[in-house]
Chains A and B, each alone.
Chain A
Amino acid sequence: MSDKQNPLRKGLRREHDIKPFVMVIFGAGGDLTSRKLAPALYNLMVDGLLPQSLAVVGFSRGDTTDSKFRTAMADAIGKFSRRPVDSAIMERLAASLWFIGSDFDDPKGYQILKERLDTWEREKGAQNRLFYLATPPAAYPVIARRLGESGLNRASAADRFVRLAVEKPFGRDTESAMALNDQLHQVFPEQQIFRLDHYLGKETVQNILVFRFANGIFEPLWNRQYIDHVQITVAESIGVGTRGGYYDQAGAARDMVQNHLLQLLSLVAMEPPVAFEADAVRSEKVKVLRAIHPFSPRDVQTNAVRGQYTDGVADGDPVLGYRDEAGVPSDSRTETFVALKLLVDNWRWAGVPFYLRTGKRLAKRCSEIAIQFQRVPHRFFRSLDMPEIEPNVLTLRIQPDEGISLKFGAKVPGPTVRIQSVHMDFLYGTAFLDEPPEAYERLLLDCLHGDSTLFTRHDEVEAAWTLVTALLNGWAQANDPVPVYEAGSWGPLEAMALIERDGRRWRRL
């Protein structure tokens, strides 16, 4: 029911108007449900953001009962919720949890699901449906097809919704991503599909748009006239852990570059959208992705570096090298590190390199975007025999120490003119003492509201894959040895050379 028709809805905040729904989590036995989805649902319920009439159905293989599923979810929430568990609210959520044990390809399971959904619709008024695919990507087409065959992909009336949420990775390359989009589109129109990249649910990532477009002072400087280069770093200190088998099929380019890093780049580089609406924002992001200079085989050699960690020391403890991790073949050529130099071929960014780096077992966990401005055009202070004045740097820290800082030069008090770089800092933790919601809480809420601004569109995914596929093909063709780096370092020496060749250097984090 739209605002125009309900006179009482006008002017009220929308966060409380989620209609009764059923959420079906395919693959509910996995880590994602325990660590992220269940705690997110719990915290949304604590905040009163979920309707009373809801049901959450785990759909997965196995003979788990409703009762065992509730216990497992309660345990998971107790372990992973960002807030302590309130027993009354937990009881209420547990009463909404159900389980259907079925293979993803078994039509009988979908029949049972349909009967349950129809019953809840009659008895609880839960007329809206969210199908969440927390499964390996290979299962997506099967599940979508079965949902279509059982008629569950269609809402029972015009004012009700049916939505499909899928996790990354969305495909392995351009071809598979396009094929997957086609397969899903045969059952669900694009506006019903929500592709998650949990980075977009982070407050600090959402703040990039607010920072750029709610403040008038930065946009005039946000171009090649004033910016020398941009560095985007997503560094992890952890290794692959127990996920070696999965990771070896993916690698850093698929796991991180295709989604998180390119999302950050597109938010930094995009043009202002005409409105803060899903398609307006996403269209601008797609334009950026399409403007990135594509990799030729030669570009892969000169503008891309990959690496693989060897044994070293992380957080003070000795750690294994990648090839010694469980599930990883001893001759693996999968990259755990990627560094890229990208150019965005448009009017705003022509000639401004974007340096991206990401990797596992790096020196510290850190995600940030650093915008380094041009140096002063004239050395006003050269007569004072001072070292080169450092350029201004605007840093958007995604995690940890979430915040924004600006580096600029100031005179050191004293009888002579001495200039020192200082930082002007905004820290989320001290400015807003309230704990922000977890990314999945925000994303689930938006999904239930039908707001797809923070979700990737089909063309966005494909454009990102086009770039990364060319990179992967270039590496495969070249078949060079994969450079190595010691765990606990900042990546292979080749990554240093990538940026130092241009007379720049990676930020010391």
Chain B
Amino acid sequence: MTILRRTLDSDRVAPHQIESLWADLRLESLEKSPAQPGSIHARTQTLVTLAKNPTRELERAWKFVSIKHPGRLIALFTDPGVDVPAVVVEWSHPDSACSGSEMVGMAVKGPLKQHWAELVLPLLIPELPAYLWLAHPEDPDWSELRSLWAGIDHIILDTARAAKPWQMWAGLLQHRLPELGTSDLEWIRTDPWRQILASCFDQASCLALLGDLSAVTMRGSPSAISRSSWLMAWLGSRLDWNGGPPFNHLASTDNRPIAYHFQEDARAKHLSEVTLLFETDETFCRITETRQQLTAIVQQKGRTLFETSLPTLKEGVGHAVSEALNQGFDPLFGDAIRWLQGEKSQREGPHA
């Protein structure tokens, strides 16, 4: 990978000079790159990552994403741990061995909105989707972040490590623009769970049980709160339950109560088990996660009605981000959000 480095004090450099700096950097990078002559890396989007500092996990994620979705990766580091004059820039150009994307990393000093228009907007690839991935685990400053929405089509959150995921979502919903797409990587990570649950009830013998669902129990690490909540939101929106978070007053469409229980398991890495219990004795559907494999079994009075398995999404935030870029707006996600907000699902309705 060819890496070029510049330092600049954006307070003293005029905006048009920054634009020509980007052009020079890009050209220089292209000249020095070992990329095959004549080959063109097709570009599909710009992904802007907002993080406090570069980490190994982020680097792995970018490498993965750049292969799946060649484009331009822009990383903004707001707390790089070193004293930067104003902006330190590293620019790398793809080569066939390394990645499919150009990468621009910037360590910035001072408020983000000061730098956004000058430094980031000129780098968004015209006419292609621009994503903003908020890689901070903690609650972001939404009022500051709102100034970043210009030029962005879609925001990607990750509530995996948020202490209060619902606060994050409340903040986003309050501050985002209606036309802005949104994803939560924790929702993306529920995809295999939703797939396998759906597979269980594709079977005629199991589908008949859904009307007798009486309880949902989940087990996982404390950090699985967000993932388990999204699963409940999905179930609630698909099955038209009444109620919402914190899920202790749920009821089916015919007003039967549905109990919910989350059991913390310190040994689990994330969500490790989901069990649906039915009113018929000894009848359940259980999904367990072991070594990145989900296994589902539906049993009634000791007799197995159905079993299947499915791999989970691989660990590594890059896989989830890549999936978010694949999916874009997911109508099921919109339904889940509306259900959480107390609205009935509009299955054909507009984006949440």
Tell me if A219 is interfacial: C-beta within 8 Å of chain B: no
Least Cβ–Cβ distance between A449 and chain B, in angstroms? 13
Q: Check A430 against B40 for contact (C-beta < 8 Å).
A: yes
Instruction: Output the nearest chain A residue to B334 by Cβ-Cβ distance.
Output: A11
Q: B195 contacts which of A16, A425, A431 (Cβ < 8 Å)?
A: A16
Segment of B13-21, B22-30, B200-208 engaged in the interface with chain A: B200-208
Tell me if B105 is interfacial: C-beta within 8 Å of chain A: no
Complex contacts, A51 vs chain B, CB 8 Å = 199, 308-309
- Produce 1/0 per residue, A5-23, CB < 8 A to B: 1111111110011011000
Tell me if A480 is interfacial: C-beta within 8 Å of chain B: no
In the bound assembly, the distance between CA atoms of A53 and B309 in angstroms comes to 9
Report whether over half of chain B's contact residues are helix, strand or loop; otherwise say mixed. Answer: mixed
In the bound assembly, the distance between CA atoms of A400 and B292 in angstroms comes to 36
Instruction: Output the nearest chain B residue to A48 by Cβ-Cβ distance.
Output: B311
Least Cβ–Cβ distance between A216 and chain B, in angstroms? 15
In the bound assembly, the distance between CA atoms of A431 and B35 in angstroms comes to 13
Tell me if B70 is interfacial: C-beta within 8 Å of chain A: yes
Q: Check B198 against A8 for contact (C-beta < 8 Å).
A: yes
Complex contacts, A425 vs chain B, CB 8 Å = 38-40
Q: Check B201 against A433 for contact (C-beta < 8 Å).
A: no
Scan residues 278-321 of chain B and give those whose CB is less than 8 A from a CB of chain A.
Answer: 295, 304-311
Least Cβ–Cβ distance between B65 and chain A, in angstroms? 11
Q: Check A433 against B307 for contact (C-beta < 8 Å).
A: no
Q: A20 contacts which of B36, B39, B198, B308 (Cβ < 8 Å)?
A: B308
Q: B198 contacts which of A12, A53, A430, A432 (Cβ < 8 Å)?
A: A12
Given contacts A10-B238, A10-B347, A12-B332, A52 and B204 within 8 Å (CB-CB): no
Q: Check B70 against A9 for contact (C-beta < 8 Å).
A: no
Scan residues 250-293 of chain A and give those whose CB is less than 8 A from a CB of chain B.
Answer: none
Q: A1 contacts which of B38, B207, B238, B305 (Cβ < 8 Å)?
A: B207
Complex contacts, B165 vs chain A, CB 8 Å = none
Q: Check B308 against A48 for contact (C-beta < 8 Å).
A: no
Instruction: Output the nearest chain A residue to B304 by Cβ-Cβ distance.
Output: A125
Q: Check A16 against B42 for contact (C-beta < 8 Å).
A: no
Scan residues 89-130 of chain A and give those whose CB is less than 8 A from a CB of chain B.
Answer: 125
Interface range on chain B (Cβ under 8 Å from partner): 35 or more
Q: Check A159 against B204 for contact (C-beta < 8 Å).
A: yes
Given contacts A1-B204, A430-B100, A433-B67, A11 and B308 within 8 Å (CB-CB): no
Complex contacts, A53 vs chain B, CB 8 Å = 307-308
Complex contacts, B347 vs chain A, CB 8 Å = 10-11
Tell me if B68 is interfacial: C-beta within 8 Å of chain A: yes
Complex contacts, A125 vs chain B, CB 8 Å = 203, 304-307
Q: Check B41 against A431 for contact (C-beta < 8 Å).
A: yes
Q: Check B332 against A11 for contact (C-beta < 8 Å).
A: yes
Given contacts A19-B202, A433-B100, A52 and B39 within 8 Å (CB-CB): no
Q: Check A48 against B207 for contact (C-beta < 8 Å).
A: no
Q: A8 contacts which of B40, B197, B306, B311 (Cβ < 8 Å)?
A: B197
Complex contacts, A432 vs chain B, CB 8 Å = 42, 70
Q: Check B309 against A430 for contact (C-beta < 8 Å).
A: no
Least Cβ–Cβ distance between A22 and chain B, in angstroms? 15
Given contacts A11-B332, A19-B202, A426-B42, A6 and B307 within 8 Å (CB-CB): no
Instruction: Output the nearest chain B residue to A427 by Cβ-Cβ distance.
Output: B39
Q: Check B202 against A6 for contact (C-beta < 8 Å).
A: yes
Given contacts A9-B202, A433-B67, A52 and B309 within 8 Å (CB-CB): yes
In the bound assembly, the distance between CA atoms of A248 and B198 in angstroms comes to 51
A13, A48, A425 — which one has the most chain B CB atoms within 10 A of its CB?
Answer: A48
Tell me if B194 is interfacial: C-beta within 8 Å of chain A: yes
Scan residues 139-180 of chain A and give those whose CB is less than 8 A from a CB of chain B.
Answer: 159
Complex contacts, A502 vs chain B, CB 8 Å = none
Least Cβ–Cβ distance between B113 and chain A, in angstroms? 35
Scan residues 305-352 of chain B and give those whose CB is less than 8 A from a CB of chain A.
Answer: 305-311, 330-332, 347
Q: Check A431 against B202 for contact (C-beta < 8 Å).
A: no
Tell me if A331 is interfacial: C-beta within 8 Å of chain B: no
In the bound assembly, the distance between CA atoms of A433 and B95 in angstroms comes to 11
Instruction: Output the nearest chain A residue to B200 by Cβ-Cβ distance.
Output: A8
Tell me if B96 is interfacial: C-beta within 8 Å of chain A: yes
Ordered by A's residue number, 9 sampled pairs between the chains whose C-beta atoms are within 8 Å are A6-B202, A7-B238, A10-B347, A17-B202, A48-B310, A52-B307, A53-B308, A125-B306, A430-B40
Given A159-B204, A433-B100, 14 more pairs with CB closer than 8 A: A1-B202, A6-B201, A7-B239, A8-B198, A8-B201, A8-B210, A9-B202, A16-B195, A17-B195, A19-B203, A20-B308, A52-B309, A125-B305, A430-B70
